[in-house]
Amino acid sequence: MTQDQYDRDNPTEQYPDPGQQDGGNVPHPGVTGQMNDEPDHGEYSYRGSGRLAGRRAVITGADSGIGRAVAIAFAREGADVLISYLPEEEKDAQETVRLVEEAGRTAVRVPGDIRDQQMCREIIERAVDELGGLDILVNNAAYQMAQPGGITDITDEQFDRVMKTNLYAMFWLCREAVPHLRPGSSIINTSSVQAFQSSAELMDYASTKAAIVAFTKALAQSLAHKGVRVNAVAPGPIWTPLIPATMPEEKVDSFGGDVPMGRAGQPAELAPAYVFFASQESSYITGETLGVTGGQPVT
């Protein structure tokens, strides 16, 4: 991306169509450097204004994609960040750490698989120990694998991985985090437009994303009296390494073309929603899901 591309006002033309050279060529879990068209995480465009000064945040899946964009934005808003990621994503995680530290904030790297309950416990413990506390938990890590054949092609192993990554880990992390969250803290869960406009080939993934919406509403009710808010962001088609790593080539080539804005979104376009929910600007909002979908409805 060149600097002049960030100055465009028309959101339908703000970014060129990605994905035309990447379909099916990037192995899971996907690494940014393997993509011919790397996403925009806000490296050049995001400008902070101290909205999260002094806060301590945990972000899962923060090595690349939406998680990296959120880490950059949080750091530039004044937050220190713990970055959770899979060990095979170490190179991407190091780049995210560099960007956080470049913003003058602390970055703690914690590689590991959040399908392991002990790993989730360690993430929260290290945040409290090494950042001095915890104010923001972003449950962003997720697993998907498109199966064009539908339910008969979804193996028990895949179903278990999707559920453990997308739901169990979120539950474990929230349960570990809640005792450390003071009034004014925020939990932000990443749902998806798939929770509302489900695709047959992503049946298991869509089911977890719908469950995240219900979980967010229930946890928000449970924690409101403590002054802890819980909200969700529902992305539409966002260009991240997960897309070419988990979708058939023909789907990647047309990715995002069917939304009203006519293009896929970029991670940088998601980050402001997470900053909003993490900051006191959303102090009277809890239990809500904000769609960032290029015009696809989330109802």
Q: Which residues are catalytic?
A: 205
Reduced to 3 states, what is the DSSP secondary structure of residue 137?
A: strand
Residue 226 CA to residue 228 CA, distance in Å, equals 5
Cβ of 253: how many Cβ atoms within 10 Å? 17
Q: Are 71 and 100 in contact (CB under 8 A)?
A: yes
Reduced to 3 states, what is the DSSP secondary structure of residue 104?
A: coil
Phi-psi region of 65 (alpha: psi -120 to 50; beta: other; left: phi over 0): left
Backbone angles phi, psi at 228, to 5 degrees: -105, 125
Residue 8 CA to residue 23 CA, distance in Å, equals 27
HSE-up of residue 282 (Cα within 13 Å, Cβ side): 24
Residue 92 CA to residue 62 CA, distance in Å, equals 9
Of 148, 115, 6, 131, nearest to 81 (Cα)?
131
If 0-12 CB within 10 Å is exposed, 13-18 middle and 19+ buried, where does residue 106 land?
Answer: middle
- Cα–Cα–Cα angle for 76, 78, 82, nearest 5°? 90
Specify the DSSP class assigned to residue 31: -
Per DSSP (E only), the strands in 112-259 are: 136-139, 186-190, 229-235
Residue 112 CA to residue 110 CA, distance in Å, equals 6
